[in-house]
Amino acid sequence: MSIMLDKKPEREKRPAPITVAVAGNPNSGKTSIFNNLTGSNQQVGNWPGVTVTKKEGRLLMGSTKARIVDLPGIYSLGAYSEDEMVARDYILSGEPDVIIDVVDAGNIERNLYLTTQILEAGGNIVIALNMLDEARKQNIHIDIPALAERLGVPVVPTVARLQQGMKELVEAVWEASRTSKPKPFRIYYGELIESELEVLEELVKTVPELTARLHPRYVAVKLLEDEDWLHKKIETLDADTRERLMTAARDSISRLKMHYGDDLDSALIEQRYRFIADLLKGVVIRSEDKKEKDTVSEAIDRVVLNRYLGIPVFLFVMFGMFQATFTLGAPLSDIIETFFAWLGGWVAGGINNLLVSSLVVDAVIGGVGSVLVFVPPICLLFLIISLLEDSGYMARAAYIMDRFMQNLGLHGRSFIPLLIGFGCNVPAVMAARTLENKGDRLTTILIAPLMSCAARLPVYVLFVGIFFTAYQGLAVLSLYLLGIVLAIIAAHLFKKFLFKGEEAPFILEIPPYRIPTLKTALLHMWQRGSQFLKKAGTIIFAAVVLVWAMSNLPWGVEYASRDSLMGMMGGWLAPVFEPLGFGTWQAASALIFGLLAKEIVVGTLAVVYGAGEAGLAAAISSVFTPLSAFSFMVMVLVYSPCVATIAAIRRETDSRGWTAFAIGYSLVLGWVLAFVIYQGGKLLGLA
């Protein structure tokens, strides 16, 4: 006790850290606010489902110390999918001292649904009324002081994208953290429900375990709604209390059902919306004149979302993206290539020891350098993807694919994780958390590795640059599309044979078009690019040195010959790939090491052909034909997820069986496809 007293004066000088959660509907700007407050670079995107786990950071503003937690988006506290549960549980956990509730001013009625839920539960809220710039453009006027007064919480106007209102927000949060308990907030549910709530509330008040963090009235409402988490909590209570609560709840529900039938839940929801509508009377004023911006959006959407044009437009956008990646990336790649060739020559001249010189020239410069050449196309690709995401087009692409996929009986929302898979399959596997239904989740996890991630791009760029110079964009597009098509077919089959069962409803919100911010795009590009560089410096580097060493062993063997350890290992597996058109030990070695990370495929080829970057192209063009090159690229696309993705699958499915299945089916599928392509192509007389 005395220690506590001693501490007190110091505490006042240096305030104890507080915990602040950032909550709100999907796509309302939570991550933008989080990034502004903490200086982090978490990914923002103009679509739902970008943030699926909670992310932590430290407040950088003023003298206040605070821990800030960014949450996945939710529409209400009745959560269904795993990412939503993360958000709900955290909000109700009592851990956050203050909750910044980010409200999209353009959709205020719907956003306030969550707000009123958190208030009813007893959360200490500061509202960040965000996207005010867009609301203004849509001629929506909001009387902010009136709103704050009616809700009884501070409301801070913000435009997170332009970092406006952040200082005021921090001040309001700090102020709120010092007021101990928020006032109880009451939604009026109508006479009948109110009388039941009164009874239940009195009962709940006698159970301290339930009211430690939540308002008794909120718990009473949840009893009527029969919520799962509350059940679980009640089950931990002693038998007597449990019985009393459950009986009372059952009685109330059955009395109310006499009046509302089975629509009690919708009656509660309806009452809340009615309450919000009343609350907003005179607070929100919309001018009637048609907003100019909307008509432009509508005109674009008429084409982009058109039943017949939608998919062609999507294909065209993708094609343009890959073509741009090539035409703009190639000159930059050439510069890097020339540099490494020069560096190799320079180093080789300067080192006398043959072995050391080979290590530096063949492994480090040849192997790692050959991978680094692909930094420019990768950066460009992600710059473009980020611009498309931030503009709102990607959400539309998901919508188009949804329509397409529902015809195949697949859940449309799985397309969002798949789009994320273009970057890296690991977050794609994690993004499957946004799916409510277990079967949908597993399906999505299993098919996510079929999406062509950035690590496959170097292989495509290398081979396409050698064999398909006239159709570079198209050739790469075909591989990406092949991945999508395979994913769709596989999903269809999995759903049909493995995960038969109920369908969860799918709501994909189409966000408004937004001018992408260059900062976000550059940041995204930088993150991807630096991730790639980091990989080049660590796992790729280690792997190519290992490949190089195995090419030099046993001692005295001719470098990278069939008799070297590498040659023996690859040679042992090579016959398996013979019918696919690339039965060389070099290709087999590349595929083996590619399991670690698919970028290593190129690095390994560079080392075992021992020819440096310029010579690599020559070696490949003498060993492969256009047909076997395509078959090889398909194999690289499909065969087994990389180690990091396998680990993610293991984590997310929590099942060895499914992880093994994910590896097994893709190995078989890759082999069969490459076989069909190569043998089929030969039959057709292609070489």
CB nearer to Mg ion: give 50 or 605: 50
Binding flag, residue 376, ligand GDP (CB under 6 A): no
Binding flag, residue 81, ligand GDP (CB under 6 A): no
Tell how strand 284-286 and strand 18-24 pair up: unpaired
The structure tokens listed for 239 are 């038998």
- Residue 50 CB, nearest approach to ligand GDP (Å): 5
Interface residue with ligand GDP among 88, 161, 222, 524 (CB under 6 A) is 161
Indicate which of ligand GDP, Mg ion, none lies near residue 107 (CB less than 5 to 8 Å, by partner kind). none
- State residue 408 phi and psi, 5-degree precision: -95, 5
- Residue 8 CB, nearest approach to Mg ion (Å): 38
Site string for ligand GDP, 12-51 (x = CB under 6 A): ------------x-xxxxxxx-----------xxx---xx
Indicate which of ligand GDP, Mg ion, none lies near residue 397 (CB less than 5 to 8 Å, by partner kind). none
CB nearer to ligand GDP: give 59 or 387: 387
CB nearer to Mg ion: give 44 or 368: 44
Considering only residues 40 to 59 of the shown chain, the ones binding Mg ion according to CB under 5 A are 50-51
Task: In whole angstroms, give the CA distance from residue 147 to residue 127.
Answer: 10
CB nearer to Mg ion: give 51 or 589: 51
Print burial letters for 232-252: b (CB count within 10 Å at least 16), e (below 16): ebbeebeeeeeeebeebbeeb
Task: In whole angstroms, give the CA distance from residue 647 to residue 660.
Answer: 11
Size of the site for ligand GDP (CB under 6 A): 25
Task: In whole angstroms, give the CA distance from residue 161 to residue 158.
Answer: 9
- Residue 30 CB, nearest approach to Mg ion (Å): 5
Interface residue with ligand GDP among 97, 101, 120, 134 (CB under 6 A) is 134
Interface residue with ligand GDP among 57, 73, 603, 670 (CB under 6 A) is 73
Q: What is the DSSP string of 515-563?
A: PPPHHHHHHHHHHHHHHHHHHIIIIIHHHHHHHHHHHHTTTTPPTT-TT
Considering only residues 487 to 516 of the shown chain, the ones binding ligand GDP according to CB under 6 A are 514
Stretch that binds ligand GDP, among 157-165, 247-255, 354-362, 398-406 (CB under 6 A): 157-165
CB nearer to Mg ion: give 30 or 598: 30
- Residue 31 CB, nearest approach to Mg ion (Å): 3
Q: Are 583 and 674 in contact (CB under 8 A)?
A: no
- Residue 642 CB, nearest approach to ligand GDP (Å): 27
CB nearer to ligand GDP: give 30 or 272: 30
- Residue 431 CB, nearest approach to Mg ion (Å): 12
- Residue 161 CB, nearest approach to ligand GDP (Å): 4
Indicate which of Mg ion, ligand GDP, none lies near residue 449 (CB less than 5 to 8 Å, by partner kind). none
The angle formed by the CA atoms of residues 71, 73 and 74, to the nearest 5 degrees, is: 115
Crossing angle of helices 585-594/565-577, nearest 10°?
90
What percent of the residues of the chain are helix, what percent strand, and what percent coil, each to the nearest 5? Answer: 70, 5, 25
CB nearer to ligand GDP: give 40 or 561: 40
Crossing angle of helices 216-225/239-260, nearest 10°?
60
- Residue 264 CB, nearest approach to ligand GDP (Å): 31
Site string for Mg ion, 16-35 (x = CB under 5 A): --------------xx----
- Residue 44 CB, nearest approach to Mg ion (Å): 6
Q: Are 128 and 101 in contact (CB under 8 A)?
A: yes
Q: Is the dihedral of CA 483, 486, 492, 495 positive or negative?
A: negative
Interface residue with ligand GDP among 81, 111, 116, 130 (CB under 6 A) is 130
- Residue 83 CB, nearest approach to ligand GDP (Å): 11
- Residue 115 CB, nearest approach to Mg ion (Å): 18
Could you give the 3-state DSSP secondary structure of residue 436? coil
Interface residue with ligand GDP among 18, 131, 256, 560 (CB under 6 A) is 131
- Cα dihedral 381, 384, 385, 386 in deg (nearest 10): 120
Binding flag, residue 390, ligand GDP (CB under 6 A): yes
CB nearer to ligand GDP: give 98 or 102: 102
Residue type at 475? A
Interface residue with ligand GDP among 52, 125, 142, 159 (CB under 6 A) is 159
CB nearer to ligand GDP: give 160 or 378: 160
Task: In whole angstroms, give the CA distance from residue 182 to residue 117.
Answer: 14
CB nearer to ligand GDP: give 46 or 604: 46
Task: In whole angstroms, give the CA distance from residue 88 to residue 21.
Answer: 11
Phi-psi region of 351 (alpha: psi -120 to 50; beta: other; left: phi over 0): beta
Stretch that binds ligand GDP, among 126-134, 245-253, 320-328, 436-444 (CB under 6 A): 126-134
Site string for ligand GDP, 331-370 (x = CB under 6 A): ----------------------------------------
Tell me whether residue 657 is exposed, middle or buried, using C-beta atoms within 10 angstroms of its C-beta: 0 to 12, 13 to 18, 19 or more. exposed
Q: Is the dihedral of CA 325, 326, 331, 333 positive or negative?
A: positive
- State residue 127 phi and psi, 5-degree precision: -90, 130
Give the residue from 647, 638, 646 showing the smallest Cα distance to 667. Answer: 638
Give the residue from 130, 180, 182, 131 showing the smallest Cα distance to 153. Answer: 182
- Residue 42 CB, nearest approach to Mg ion (Å): 7
Binding site for Mg ion (CB under 5 A): 30-31, 50-51
Binding site for ligand GDP (CB under 6 A): 24, 26-32, 44-46, 50-51, 73, 130-131, 133-134, 159-161, 390, 514, 517, 520
